[in-house]
A and B are shown apart, each in its own frame.
Chain A
Amino acid sequence: MKNFNALNLAREALRGHKGWEKQWTSPEPKKKYDVIIVGAGGHGLGTAYYLAKEHGITNIAVLEKGWLGGGNTGRNTTIIRSNYLYDESAGLYNHALKLWEGLSQDLNYNVMFSQRGVLMLAHSVHDVQSFQRHIHANRLNGVDNQWLSAQEAKDYCPPLNISKDSRYPIMGAALQRKGGTARHDAVAWGYARKATAMGVDIIQNCEVIGINRAPSGEVTGVETTKGTINAEQVGIVASGHSSVLMDMAGVQMPLESYPLQALVSEPVKPVFPCVAMSNAVHAYVSQSDKGELVIGAGTDSYLSYSQTGSMHILQHALDAIIEMYPMFSRMKMLRTWGGIVDVTPDRSPIIGKTPVKGLYVNSGWGTGGFKATPGSAHVFAHTIARDEPHKINAGFNLDRFRNGRLIDEAAAAAVAH
């Protein structure tokens, strides 16, 4: 495979870029693989990549009902951070963050990981208490996160309105300097390209319509729109559709799928230097390399697989954005879109084995899966290859809903008293 670098780019420029190879191929599925991954998003393609790279398993098919990277990987607002409260979450997301830092080199694909810093804005005494709790826990866990006063937050992010007259005045912010954004498509493509080079078959336009199990219960493969494909190990990484697939194997999941919307503005010259998020008023914003403001909204309140949502959700997100950054009100919305996020009762993912032998699941990322992509893929590959979880994802098991050992980041943020 021709290396992606400046020299080759210059060479190819001289001959009309005729020498670049396919980044991935479009093979017909074989009858049998060692491992089938269902879902060619960042998490699924990454899983195949790490299975090949670190566990020597290359006879893998990644099945995708649409086009690779076309689910939530290509639909999110690309925020990356790891300043989570609980040891389990901090461990998982910080594992991911460390992988992000070397991912472009590892994949030989510029995923444009930009450590622009992620600001989380505090709007009440309660927010302040909660953020301080995070900051202290993060420090002792070796996770970067610091407290900024309102003025310091404004110095870091000049468009921020810190007037005390705001409806929800900014009382300060938690800043993770190592957080930032990456180019979502490039993550999927980079994994797809490297996995392909190591022998993985990525089969697009191939929808899984059934999961086959032997009379003794274990997985034997999947039924697809391209026929039966056999494998003794099947990993489900299908975000919003994970519960639908698990249902095919007879496993009911603690998941609910909701529409999540996002939007971009028209592109403008650099004006927003970081990522800023506010949980209290539900809005997230950053500026893409292209110059668009990328804005994330909240989820709709009802289950839906329609990839569209209600306009009032977008309106509310914009209300909040302009509350915090009044100078953007004349900016124009260019495009909106929706994804389907699968949400667990404790808002933490499920990564691990299932009651069915040979069946593994990586799901429940809710609104925050992109940031975990390399870490999630890495530990999921380990889980499949060893048939036991990596210590980093051990806590993110399905059993926790039975024994009550939840990893409830949302509950820890609690609610105003």
Chain B
Amino acid sequence: MSTTPDFRIKGRGSRLGAKPVRFTFDGKTYEGIEGDTLASALIANGVHLMGRSFKYHRPRGVIGAGVEEPNALMDISRDNARSQPNVRATVQEIYDGLKAKSQNRFPSLAFDVNAANGLISPILTAGFYYKTFKWPAAAWDKLYEPIIRKAAGLGVSPTEEDPDRYSNRFVHCDVMVIGGGAAGLMAAKTAANKKKSVIICDENPSMGGWLLSDTDIRIDGKSGAEWAADMVAELTAMPNVRLLTRTTGFGYFQQNMVALNEQVTDHLSRPDPDSPRERMWQVRAGKVIIAQGAIERHMVFPDNDRPGILLAGAAQTFLNKYSVAVGQNVGVYTACDTAYAAAFDLAEEGINIPVIVDHRDEVSEEIQKQADEFGIRIITGAHVSGTSGKLRVNGMSVSKHTGNSDREDFDIDALIMSAGWTPSLHLYSQSRGKPEWDEATQRFLPGVSPQNCASVGGCNGTDDLADVFTEAAKAVGGKASKVKITDDVSTSGGFIGATGTSADKGKAFVDFQNDVTAKDIALAVREGMHSIEHVKRYTTNGMATDQGKLSNMHGLAIAAKLLDKPIPQVGLTTFRAPYTPTTFAAFIGHNRGKLFDVTRETPINDWAVEQGAEFEPVALWQRAMYFPKSGEDMHAAVDRECQTVRTKAGIFDASTLGKIEITGPDAAAFMDIMYTNGWSKLKPGRAKYGIMLREDGFIYDDGVIGKLADDRFHVTTTTGGAPRVMNMMEDFVQTEFPEMDVWLTSTTEQWATIAIQGPLARDIIKPLVTGANISNEKFPHMSVVECKVCGVPARLFRISFTGELGFEINVPADYGRAVWEAIWKQAEPKGACAYGTEAMHVMRAEKGYIIVGQDTDGTVTPYDAGLSWAIAKSKPDFVGKRGLTRPDLVADGRRQLIGLKTKDPKKVLQEGAQIVADPDQPIPMKMVGFVTSSYWSGSLDKSIAMAVVEDGFNLMGKTLYVPMEDETIEVEVTNTSFYDPKGERLHG
């Protein structure tokens, strides 16, 4: 034949007048028509070879016409950033300019060098890799594995960031119907008539399901397609119904939450740039109606994988829905009546059907009669014992079950097959319902789901259309309207397992994509894999991208037969979401880039941005780390900031500190429980450092707390700790001490907090403060007062985290930036600077002030941290008091927080570096502690460090060692107060 035959059957289906669409496949341009899938358009052009298998790289054609497709997987790319691997050609709608590429082949689909794997296929049997590649020991991941990896995999991952958008919707409805076939439409209509809010979704571009593939059915005189279209029109007109096409119900979660994914633009030639590519729906439904239908099985026989061999139902769909004949000379192999309908439909269009091979011993008189009318020969009690053809099937051999002696060969260019239909239990099983084995029909059916759902139609094993309608209506508490149905073909019959005899040569594929044959299953069983999960995992049967939609039942039946056990005893593998592969992007929706997580910014943040500050993330906050002047690196900037604060002053945005307002008559009593030290006797107007423990005695949080009145505390927490501190306080006040009259309010975001530290601090703020005397005498260190700053109501603290004279001004957040700028206006002319978190860290370390989470982790007690002075042992109770007395927490030799002085004062230790007593010991070394904080102190012109060291308090003056990769650093144990140890500057 010199030209490609056109397999388009004009006038079949309802596609007259559909516009031509041009697309490319592996660089070659083809023409299809509007509404085609990639698969139907290629078949119309006589192309069946669409892919290569996973292991043996065997040439493969399309098998199905829907989501079950294991072979025809392609890469569809709009551009470099929009490449999509592993797209099923049977699902992808074509559009003008679509570019499809075959996968898993080199250099081309027709000639793939890896097909040489087929030559050694006797070795590459199930689990072969477990038995070899063990020598030499190091060779697995250096030599063998890279080769295996390269040969495996299907498509190619995108390499660029995806520019498309994805959206996410949450909805509630009374009835969620999954599947828009006959059953789904009837259920939706019945529920809608009862004024229920209804959502119905279907994975296809139009609803109707099998009705669109079967042209013989008549419902009240209408064709199935017409009936479905009318139902859709009626549902669309109802305000209480939402119809979603191209939308797959892929997951069923607790309490009737169903997840759907809607394809919005993948079928469009030029998508609206403002439209999302996909939309995920998370639906909480009163009742879920599962109407997923059934999926046809292939026959397992030798060389059943040549291009041109496909499911009979798929051939019928291609013909009746897409106006395409799968061949001109089509053989049939079946164990089910439905394949006859496909064969007769093809025959009606003049396609030659040389033979129908029926695995069963007899067929009904009616079928025989119809076949006779078409002049089609039926051979019963027979099987296909082999096929021929390299890149396309060209012949089949037929043998009677009784023996191979009467073998007959037929020339064909396509072979359609049906082993019957498997009810799709996917979502039912995901709802945690247990499938139940129906011995009579040899299939698993839904039982009773623990959730409020019902399976109707094909997925419930209901064959007869009238029964389907009754059942669907009943599932939503209604009655189906009376309809007259004719020419409904029964889906009865079927076969599971491998056909043929041991004399047959060739590979009988159970799982096409993963190249699992009936012999592989047998090998697994022979080797002791007697649970279906073992068989699955050993052979990889059912683990391909179709997740066993075609292969699971066959694999199970083959194993059961070999084990001589009933099928349900061998077990069914669990169905797991998603029903069909779903893009990661759909799950993510908008949560990308900056929207990945919340970013908290202080009211002063923008000022710091304008000043060119460098930032660091701290918990959810972004904090200014330092404010470099031009030409300064971090080290120089931090040095300058520290020196400026120590000699003049600096201002610091402390707004991220957690703040909790504790009020009520029992506020002090509550504080006494939550913190280790005493609060009842503290005078209003005074502030105190507080430590909070967990019940187990370890440090949980710390902060300075001001007592504003006997019944009011202004609590501060660490930046990251605020939510958990609040949660723990709420827990105690609500559940342990509900009798306490105390109220907690998170005020972190209500206050902007500005620290002014340094010898000039008072001079800077004095002109701005009204309503309070802030002289050293009237307002000493650790005081708090309510006053006004810049005319704004403020809470002013006299506190210091630098060791200098210091204040912290809290003003309502909305005034934060204005007050900050007013202070800056006072500060800048005096030579003060703005400083960031790094300078803050250096200065607090110079003073030996700890940072919870850095100098302590969850294993440090307040005693370990040298904070025993902050524990009021005389209090009858506080959280952690009992925990602190446990044996290991009071044992000798605990790690304690001390200071370290490097012998070489220029040497700055690395935070996290480990400390040993004996540097010469062999590895593994006995480590006695580690460096928690370490900085260069410009003020002291030397390095400083803090560390936790075993028995550290008793090691003052002792020499220890910090072994680094390239040197060992000698250090001396000191106390942690490096700067102004007497604390005189605080009180200035």
A185 to chain B, nearest CB (A): 5
Chain A, Cβ-Cβ closest to B720? A416
The residue from A110, A167, A416 contacting B593, defined by CB atoms under 8 A apart: A167
Could you tell me if A141 and B527 are in contact, using CB atoms closer than 8 angstroms? no
A140 and B698 contacting across the interface, CB-CB below 8 Å: no
Provide the residues of chain A in CB contact with B720, threshold 8 Å: 415-417
A110: chain B residues within 8 A (beta carbon):
129-134, 140
B591 within 8 A of A: yes
| A-B contacts, CB under 8 A, total | 350
Given contacts A329-B585, A331-B583, A334-B581, contact A268 B134 (CB under 8 A): no
Give chain B interface residues in 19-54, CB to chain A under 8 Å.
54
- Taking a contact as CB atoms under 8 Å apart, the answer to whether A104 and B140 are in contact is yes
Complex Cα distance A265/B85, Å? 11
Whether B531 and A416, one on each chain, are in contact in the complex, defined by CB atoms closer than 8 angstroms, is: no
* Interface SS of chain B: loop
Asked, given contacts A129-B854, A167-B599, A334-B545, whether A290 binds B587 with beta carbons under 8 Å apart, the answer is no
* Mask of B134-159 contacts with A, CB within 8 angstroms, 1/0: 11010011000110111011111111
CA distance A410 to B84 in the complex (A): 39
Closest B residue to A181 by beta carbon equals: B141
Query: Which residues of A sit under 8 angstroms from B547, Cβ to Cβ?
Result: 334-335
A109–B854 alpha-carbon span in the complex (Å): 46
List CB contacts (< 8 Å) of B843-884 with chain A: 851-854, 856-859, 883
Of B282, B583, B587, B883, the most chain A CB neighbours within 10 A belong to B587
Chain B residues with CB under 8 Å of A105's CB are 134-135, 137
Across the interface, do B914 and A268 meet the contact criterion of CB distance under 8 Å?
Answer: no
Tell yes or no: B501 within 8 A of A by CB. no
Tell me the bound Cα distance from A136 to B767 in angstroms. 51
Interface centre among A24, A126, A268 (most CB of B within 10 A): A268
Residue contact A290 to B153, C-beta cutoff 8 Å: yes
Segment at the A interface, from B2-10, B290-298, B453-461, B924-932: B924-932
Q: Contact: B584 with A8, CB < 8 Å?
A: no
Cross-interface CB contact of B594 among A114, A167, A410, cutoff 8 Å: A167
> In whole angstroms, how far apart are the Cα atoms of A266 and B132 in the complex?
26
CA A320 – CA B587 in complex, angstroms? 11
Least Cβ–Cβ distance between A352 and chain B, in angstroms: 17
Beta-carbon contact of A267 and B523 below 8 Å: no
Q: Give the residues from 9 to 40 in chain A that come closer than 8 angstroms, CB to CB, to chain B.
A: 9-10, 13-14, 16-18, 20-26
Q: Which of B73-117 contact A (CB under 8 A)?
A: 82-86
**Chain A residues within 8 Å of B129, by CB:** 110, 112, 289
Q: Verify A270–B531 contact, CB threshold 8 A.
A: no
Contact B854 A417, beta carbon cutoff 8 Å: yes
List of B residues within 8 angstroms of A387 by Cβ: none
| Cα–Cα, bound, A165→B888 (Å) | 45
Partner of A140, one of B135, B592, B924: B924
- With contact pairs A13-B123, A20-B523, A168-B617 given, residues A415 and B158 touching in the complex (Cβ less than 8 Å): no
A186 interface hit (Cβ, 8 Å): yes
The answer to whether A124 and B617 touch (CB under 8 A), given A269-B155, A311-B259, is: yes
Determine whether A354 belongs to the interface, using a CB cutoff of 8 Å to chain B: no
0/1 interface trace, chain A 156-198, chain B, CB 8 Å (1 if under): 0000000001111100000000001001011001100000000
Interfacial chain A residues near B253, Cβ < 8 Å: 308, 310-311
Which among B85, B538, B589 has the highest number of chain A CB atoms within 10 Å? B85
**Known A-B contacts A23-B527, A67-B534, A314-B587; A180 and B853 likewise in contact (beta carbons under 8 Å):** no
What distance in Å separates the Cβ of B717 from its nearest Cβ neighbour in chain A? Answer: 11
Which residues of B868-904 are within 8 A (CB) of A? 883, 886-889
Which residues does chain A contribute within 8 Å of B161, judged by CB atoms?
326-327, 329
Q: Which of A4, A23, A141, A267 contacts B152 (CB 8 A)?
A: A267
Q: Are B537 and A185 in contact (CB under 8 A)?
A: yes
Beta-carbon contact of A268 and B141 below 8 Å = no
Determine the chain B residues whose CB is within 8 A of the CB of A417 once the complex forms.
618, 718-721, 851-854
B962 nearest CB neighbor, chain A only: A136
Q: Which chain A residues border B157 with CB–CB below 8 Å? A: 268-269, 271, 327-328, 331
A214 in contact (CB, < 8 A) = no
Whole-angstrom distance from the CB of A5 to the nearest CB of chain B?
A: 6
Among residues of A, the one whose C-beta sits closest to the C-beta of B547 is A335
Partner of A114, one of B135, B141, B519, B859: B141
CA distance A63 to B123 in the complex (A): 34
Query: Is A408's beta carbon under 8 Å from chain B?
Result: yes
Cβ of A210 within 8 Å of any chain B Cβ, yes or no, is no
| Interface mask (B531-554 → A, CB under 8 Å = 1, otherwise 0) | 101100110100101010000000
Contact A137 B584 (CB under 8 A): no
Q: Are B597 and A130 in contact (CB under 8 A)?
A: no
Chain B residues closer than 8 Å to A287, beta-carbon distance:
149
Partner of B137, one of A104, A109, A114: A104
* B257 CB within 8 Å of chain A: yes
A327 B537 Cβ-Cβ under 8 A: no
User: How far does the alpha carbon of A90 sit from the alpha carbon of B926 in the complex, in Å?
Assistant: 13
Interface range for A: 35 or more
Question: Could you say which of A224-232, A373-381, A398-406 contacts chain B?
Answer: A398-406
Q: Which residues of A are found within 8 Å of B184, using beta-carbon distances?
A: none
Contact A291 B152 (CB under 8 A): yes
Instruction: Give chain A residues whose Cβ lies under 8 Å from the Cβ of B956.
Output: none
Complex: A141 Cα to B924 Cα, angstroms? 4
Report how far A24 CA is from B531 CA in the complex, Å.
Answer: 12
* Pair B859/A412 contact, Cβ less than 8 Å: yes
Binary flags per residue of A283-312, CB closer than 8 Å to B gives 1, else 0: 000010111000000000000001010110
Whole-angstrom distance from the CB of B153 to the nearest CB of chain A? 3
Considering the chains assembled together, what is the distance between the CA atoms of A337 and B596 in angstroms? 24
Q: Is A322 an interface residue (CB 8 A)?
A: yes
Q: Give A59 to B184 CA distance when docked, in angstroms.
A: 58
Query: CA–CA, A287 to B122, complex, Å?
Result: 27
Question: Which of B125, B585, B697, B858 touches A408 (beta carbons < 8 Å)?
Answer: B858
Which residues of A45-86 have CB atoms within 8 Å of chain B's CB atoms? 66-70, 74
Chain B neighbourhood of A133, CB < 8 A: 911-914, 930
Instruction: Determine the chain A residues whose CB is within 8 A of the CB of B442 once the complex forms.
Output: none
- Indicate if B528 sits at the interface (CB-CB under 8 A): yes
Question: Across the interface, do B582 and A412 meet the contact criterion of CB distance under 8 Å?
Answer: no
- A129 to B912, Cβ gap below 8 A? yes
Task: Report yes or no: A13 in contact with B122, Cβ–Cβ below 8 A.
Answer: yes
Cβ < 8 Å to A, chain B residues 244-292: 251, 253-254, 257, 259, 282
Q: Out of A68, A311, A404, name the residue touching B257 (CB < 8 Å).
A: A311
Within 8 Å of chain A (Cβ to Cβ): is B682? no
Given A109-B130, A289-B152, do A141 and B923 touch, yes or no (CB 8 Å)?
A: yes
Given A5-B134, A142-B924, check contact A113 B852 (CB 8 Å).
Answer: no
**B157, B534, B543: most-surrounded residue (chain A CB, <10 A):** B157
Q: Which of A67, A267, A403 contacts B545 (CB 8 A)?
A: A267
Does chain A have a CB within 8 A of B576?
A: yes
CB of A101 closer than 8 Å to a CB of B: yes
Mask of B589-623 contacts with A, CB within 8 angstroms, 1/0: 10111101101000000000000000011110000
Instruction: Please report the C-alpha to C-alpha distance between residue A288 and residue B871 in the assembled complex, in whole angstroms.
Output: 54
Tell me, yes or no, whether A315 is within 8 Å of chain B by CB: yes
Given A5-B132, A17-B125, A321-B584, check contact A330 B152 (CB 8 Å).
no
Q: List 12 A-B contacts (CB under 8 A).
A: A18-B526, A109-B131, A130-B912, A133-B912, A266-B154, A268-B86, A308-B432, A315-B587, A319-B596, A327-B162, A329-B588, A331-B584
Residues of B within 8 A of A (CB): 54, 82-86, 120, 122-123, 125, 128-135, 137, 140-141, 145-146, 148-150, 152-162, 251, 253-254, 257, 259, 282, 432, 519, 523, 526-531, 533-534, 537-538, 540, 543, 545, 547, 574, 576-578, 581-585, 587-589, 591-594, 596-597, 599, 616-619, 696-698, 718-721, 851-854, 856-859, 883, 886-889, 910-914, 916, 923-925, 927, 930, 963-965
Leading 3 A-B pairs by shortest Cβ distance? A411-B858, A291-B153, A132-B912
Query: Given known contacts A130-B912, A139-B965, A315-B591, what 10 new A-B pairs fall within 8 Å (CB)?
Result: A132-B911, A133-B930, A142-B923, A180-B141, A268-B153, A281-B597, A289-B149, A310-B254, A332-B86, A415-B853
